[in-house]
Structure 1
Amino acid sequence: MSIRRLAVGIILLSLSALAFSDSLGDEKARAKQILKIVSKDIEKNYYDPNLKGLNWAELNAQAMEMIDNANSIGQIYTTIFGLVDRLSDSHTMFLSPGHVSVPQFGFEAKAYGSEIYVTKIKKKGQAEAAGLQLGDRIVLVNGFDAERQSFDKMMLFFHALQPVSQLDLVIMRGKSAPQKLSIPAKIISSTTVFDLNNDLNIWDLIMNSENAQKEEEFHFKKAEENDGIGYLAVKTFMVEPESIGSFATLAGKPKALVIDLRGNFGGREDALASFTSHFISEPDNMADVLTRKGKEARKIKPSRGAYSVPMAILVDSQSSSAAEMFARYFQRIHKATIIGDQTAGRVVSSRFFLEQLGTERVVPFGVQISVGKILFPNDEDLEGKGVTPDQNGPAQKAT
């Protein structure tokens, strides 16, 4: 199933009346303004000025007509999602006007190979009560195929962008026949669901919308307490460079290092550079970023006291963006062994554009846009491909 069909179907199923809706006609007028703003943001800022050869003016005209003919708010905002999704870009997505509730279902799942498995279940949560178990293979979610290339985006919609009140799953357990499970959401109300700012990474909303065990973003083990092996687990690069730089020094004096980037959806490029600086011995160009202005080098410099020991980097199907850049860089220069599953293949330089309509009654919305294509030597592009591990690795978190 294509991402576009998935997005359209999800929005039609789950989009409820927005907080600021007065009537369908008012919402159409508002959506047309939003469409113009989002479209213009993409025209001005997307890294490819040709927008991948799409006839953007014609697509916009079609979208306006579809909004005019829409019979529901769901159809209205599906149109904007669909237009943006025509770019088929991992980091170019529309975030619609604000919601006032967040559903939680009490479980997490991710791809291993081509299949989706339940990896965590919250004790006494909604999923446990419904009978879901660790290791269950998810086949369908609300009628949509659970597939590696679209599962994270599907859950992003169901949890964060357009929340639903129930997940209807079809699962496989061992060699048993497929079975159906319905998991009602635990709804958490809030006046502000998302911190909308220009540093927002929409993919982080997956992690923040439901983290069954509320894992720490950073975890470490000193080599002196772990048989000479230092261990650094990094769940996100969406932090201040100074913070993650300080964290990188906490492995002690290791004979070898394990860097755990499983479940890391990426984050800030300056945080990535700061972290990377602790594992190199000389200045280098990590990768190039192709923008409308041309190629820009992403240069990195070593920090004082940087490690110079063998490294293993753990990745999984959710390791994305900055996490993939870190893994591929050290794999390419033969300074680390990559262990785990094929990474997500979501590697571009992006920026979130926060927008709003109105003055007395403010309607916030936004669009995340890919402003640069990441290229390694020989124009290697990880977008849509990911990092292939050197070894298949552990399914569970290292401890």
Structure 2
Amino acid sequence: MRLVRVLMMLFVLFAMFSAMKSFAQKFDRLDQEIAETILKDVSDDVSKNYYDPTLHGLDWNSLVQKARTNIENAHDMEEAIAQIEGLLQSLHDSHTFLIPPQHGNNFDYGWRFKIFGSRTYITEVHAGSDAEKQGVHLGDEVLAINGFRVDRQSAPLLHSAMETYLPLSSVEVKLRDSQGRVRDLRLLASVTQQPAIAGLSSWAPHEMRLKAEDAWDNARAEAVELSPDLLAIRIPAFLQTGHDVDALFAKARTHKKLIIDLRGCRGGTVDSLHAYLDHIFSHEVNFGKLVERGKVTPQTIKGNAKNAFTGDLVVLVDSETASGGEIFARVVQLEQRGTVVGDRTSGLTMAAIRIPHHAGMHPFYLYGTSVTIADTVMTDGKSLEHVGVSPDQTFLPSPADLVAHRDHVLSFGASLLGVQLTPDLASKVFVREKR
């Protein structure tokens, strides 16, 4: 079954590749040498750093040689990049992947999708997009993209392929609307050229700084009082430590009840995760072990005997809660510290490092490798990778909720803590002002 899953992923990559020939650059001998250099760098990164030195029993050298042969027969750089990512996908590891040279064009599809339970729905339609013009609506069910069913297994790779590895000028989408009507649409992306240093390189330094500032601002945790007894904290990513986390929980301790919203939380740093966990336990907690290359390290937080929040706790999760967000939720469950509510999480939980590289002169390519260096095995002896966290109470929004911008999940979480919050008001709780 694992081989079938890997092959499916590779077929997705190459099927999507065939739709973007108009944006491909001519593949000459210099490009081939660059691609082979990228292949060598990333394959060496994996061989030297991957947490399992046996690479799950794969014949890595043979797979690398096969990728090298395929690169020799590639038609352009995009196809060569797909071969390299295909090699890394053979590990079936959420955190081992290629960080490719940035494409010379920016592709905005004008719509986004998300998994809810076992189904996939449109969650965003941008004004003026081709999707809007063709009548795509919030709450439409996505049945297939470019002929491939969209589910929990394929969704992460489809997102990566469309946005990073093989961006497309258009995609074929099969949708089912609220009346049960099925439509096959070809949705065009908006394609604009973005500033670059050279070739497929990165953003100019000023653009990089602005992008980093926006990302940090959007990742800041925020706290909102829902009642005199109830505070809600939304954590988009585990990045804050020290005073920032202390300040959030100083507010929490003035309330008897707390909701921590981890929906959409993609993870973050280990130090930040531990800082947040410290603030919900007043005692030391061992929550598992970190399995690294050649060693196993117990995972323990000290707790905060004086300043921990000790009241009632509800944690909200969804299909996009990943990595540190999943570990946080599972610790809450295993320690019976609170109630986890929402959807099954993504099952993307490995710990990784990112190794930068560059190659070439004209053009100059910046790229890198994300390599898994550890897996967290929880105190029940299980890893969350490819499994995720099943909530204590499953509660999913309906297509109608997406259309009406209602947040029944936060509303339900508040009701578990004795606070009445309408779904309409709940949807407005964490609307951060845009700068």
TM-score (norm 2): 0.80
Which amino acid in structure 1 is aligned with residue 58 of structure 2? L
> Would you say the 8 A contact 2:359–2:366 is kept in 1?
yes
Residue number among 349, 355, 365 corresponding to 1:353 in the alignment:
355
Within-5 A mapping of 1:127-142:
127-142=131-146
Aligned to 1:284: 285
Q: Cα distance, 1:68 vs. partner?
A: 1.7
Identity %, equivalent residues? 26
Partner of 1:220: 223
2:117 corresponds to 1:116: no
Offset at 1:95? 1.9
RMSD value over aligned CA atoms? Answer: 2.9
Give the equivalent residue in structure 2 for 1:301.
302
Tell me what 2:390 maps to.
Answer: 388
Question: Does 2:150 align with 1:146?
Answer: yes
- Say yes or no: does 1:374 pair with 2:380: no
Residues 168-179 of structure 1 mapped to structure 2, 5 A cutoff? 168-179=172-183
**Contact map agreement 1:127 1:183 (CA 8 A) in 2:** yes
| Change over 3 Å in CA distance of 1:173–1:297 after alignment to 2 | same
Deviation per CA, 1:261-312, whole angstroms, max 9, x where unpaired?
A: 1111111111111122111111222331100131112322224421001111
Instruction: Give 1:77 deviation, angstroms.
Output: 1.9
CA contact (8 A) 1:311 1:336 kept: yes
Distance in 2 between the 1:352 and 1:307 partners?
34
Alpha carbons 1:232, 1:248 under 8 Å: kept: no
Once residues 129 and 73 of structure 2 are traced to their aligned partners in structure 1, the CA distance between those partners, rounded to angstroms, is 42
Structure 2 equivalent of residue 275 of structure 1: 276
Question: Which SS does the other structure have where 1:279 is aligned?
Answer: coil
Larger Rg: 2
SS of 1:388 mapped into structure 2: coil
Whether 2:45 is the aligned partner of 1:41: answer: yes
In structure 2, the CA distance between the partners of 1:122 and 1:68, relative to structure 1 (3 Å rule), is closer
- Alignment-derived partner of residue 65 in structure 1: 69
Alignment partner of 2:279: what SS?
helix
Range moving further from structure 2, 231-240 or 315-324: 231-240
Question: Do the aligned partners of residues 285 and 314 (structure 1) sit closer, same or farther apart at CA in structure 2, a change above 3 Å counting?
Answer: same
**Cα distance in 1, alignment partners of residues 165 and 79 from structure 2:** 15
Q: CA separation in 2, counterparts of 1:7 and 1:68?
A: 18
Q: How does 1:247-262 map to 2 (within 5 A)?
A: 247-251=248-252, 253-262=254-263
Contact map agreement 2:78 2:165 (CA 8 A) in 1: no
Is the contact between residue 289 and residue 349 of structure 1 (CA under 8 Å) also seen in structure 2?
no
- In the alignment, is the contact (CA less than 8 A) between 1:242 and 1:274 conserved in 2? no
Distance 1:16 1:243 in 2: 48
Deviation at 1:22, TM superposition (A): 6.8
Residue 265 (structure 2) aligns with: 264
1:10 aligns with 2:34: no
The runs of 5 or more residues in structure 2 that have no matched partner are 205-211, 398-406, 411-425, 427-435
Q: Give the Cα–Cα distance (whole angstroms) in 2 for the partners of residues 120 and 251 of structure 1.
A: 32
Question: Relative to structure 1, is the Cα distance of residues 133 and 325 closer, same or farther in structure 2, using a 3 angstrom cutoff?
Answer: same
Shift of 1:170: 0.9
1:235 counterpart SS class = coil
**Counterpart of 1:379 in 2: which secondary structure?**
coil
The equivalent residue for 1:233 is 234
Stretch of structure 1 that moved more, 111-120 or 239-248: 239-248
Contact 2:42 2:368 in 1 (8 A): yes
More off after superposition, 320-329 vs 177-186: 177-186
SS in 2 for 1:132: coil
In terms of mean alpha carbon deviation, does 282-291 or 49-58 score higher?
A: 282-291
Is contact 2:122–2:141 with CA below 8 Å preserved after alignment? Answer: yes
Deviation at 1:156, TM superposition (A): 2.2
One-letter code aligned to 1:339: V
After superposition, residues 159-170 of structure 1 pair within 5 angstroms as 159-170=163-174
Moved more, 317-326 or 248-257: 248-257
Offset of 1:5 from its aligned partner? 2.4
* Paired residue total: 384
Aligned match for 1:330, one of 307, 332, 345: 332
**Residue by residue, what CA displacement relative to the aligned partner does 1:26-70 show, whole Å, maximum 9, x if unpaired?**
211111111111100000010000000011111112222222222
1:74 to 70, 75, 78: 78
Q: Which amino acid aligns with 1:138?
A: V
Judged with a 3 Å threshold, the aligned counterparts in structure 2 of structure 1 residues 17 and 130 are, in CA distance, closer, same or farther, namely closer
Please tell me whether residue 83 in structure 1 is matched to residue 84 in structure 2: no
